[in-house]
């Protein structure tokens, strides 16, 4: 018996396009982002999900709604444990703006490794702990099912690290693009990766 987990990163937002820190904050989808979620919906249409878990962020919710449009019988739930890392007072800023406003805080954050955080935000260690809890609960509550998770880059990277016993510090080795799909089949003997970072082709 396997549990099939399909992890989807939301479509592009204005903040993504402008390379701004975006954690719990919201930014509108761009026109390209809307094309991305249409492509995701078309790619995933044949996959019969029983459960959908979604980050509370609007960009994730809109992506999930597009994927599930026209389907019936899917148990869709908001799950804050799949939210992106909270960027505290760095939310909405570019890295250059952070360095200009908070140079000491930026140096301290990167020097602290997994425990570094912006003021008012989360550390990678804290995000890893909540994603670990979310992953464990998913496998326990939906064992043998086919689960859609619409989330963000960091939780997907950390889920892959969890599956393969890697330190969360290794998360950056997994490239997770906007509008991408990562799928993992979890068997009693261990996980098998179906795909990582598949980006569906956008119809022009």
Cα 180 → chain centroid: 10
- Residues 6 or more apart whose Cβ sits within 8 Å of residue 90: 21, 98, 102, 118, 121
The predicted pLDDT at position 164 comes to 94
Domains of the chain from N-terminus onward: 3-198 (3.40.50.1240)
Starting at the edge strand found earlier in the chain, the sheet holding 146-151 runs: 75-78, 51-54, 146-151, 3-9, 181-187, 190-198
* C-alpha span between 35 and 70 (Å, rounded): 18
Q: Is 84 a catalytic residue?
A: yes
Place 173 in a pLDDT band, splitting at 50, 70 and 90: very high
The predicted pLDDT at position 204 comes to 67
Enumerate the β-bridge partners of residue 187. 190
* C-alpha span between 141 and 199 (Å, rounded): 28
Place 128 in a pLDDT band, splitting at 50, 70 and 90: very high
List 18, 38, 84, 171, catalytic entry: 84
The mean pLDDT of 31-59, rounded to a whole number, is 97
The predicted pLDDT at position 1 comes to 86
The mean pLDDT of 15-30, rounded to a whole number, is 96
> Residue 123: pLDDT above 80?
yes
Average pLDDT, whole number, for the chain?
Answer: 97
Q: Is the dihedral angle over the CA atoms 155, 160, 163, 165 positive or is it negative? A: negative
Place 203 in a pLDDT band, splitting at 50, 70 and 90: confident
145-166 tens-digit pLDDT: 999 999 999 999 999 999 999 9
52-84 tens-digit pLDDT: 999 999 999 999 999 999 999 999 999 999 999
Q: Is 10 a catalytic residue?
A: yes
pTM summary value: 0.96
The mean pLDDT of 45-49, rounded to a whole number, is 96
List 10, 86, 152, 171, catalytic entry: 10
The predicted pLDDT at position 169 comes to 96
């Amino acid at each position: 018996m396997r549990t099939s987990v399909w992890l989807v990163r939301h479509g592009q937002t204005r903040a993504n396009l402008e390379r701004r820190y975006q954690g719990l904050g919201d930014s509108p989808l761009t026109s390209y982002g809307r094309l991305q979620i249409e492509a995701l919906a078309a790619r995933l249409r044949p996959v019969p999900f029983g459960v959908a878990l979604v980050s509370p962020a609007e960009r994730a919710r809109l992506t999930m709604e597009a994927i599930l449009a026209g389907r019936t019988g899917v148990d869709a739930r908001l799950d804050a444990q799949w939210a992106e890392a909270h960027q505290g007072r760095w939310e909405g800023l570019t890295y250059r703006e952070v360095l200009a406003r908070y140079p000491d805080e930026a140096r301290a954050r990167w020097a602290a490794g997994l425990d570094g955080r912006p003021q008012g935000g989360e550390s990678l260690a804290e995000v890893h702990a909540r994603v670990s809890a979310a992953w464990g609960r998913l496998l326990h509550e939906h064992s043998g099912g086919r689960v859609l998770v619409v989330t963000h880059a960091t939780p997907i990277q950390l889920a892959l690290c969890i599956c393969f016993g890697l330190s969360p510090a290794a998360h950056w080795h997994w490239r997770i693009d906007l509008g991408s799909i990562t799928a993992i089949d979890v068997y009693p003997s261990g996980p098998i990766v179906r795909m990582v970072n598949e980006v569906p082709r956008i119809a022009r």
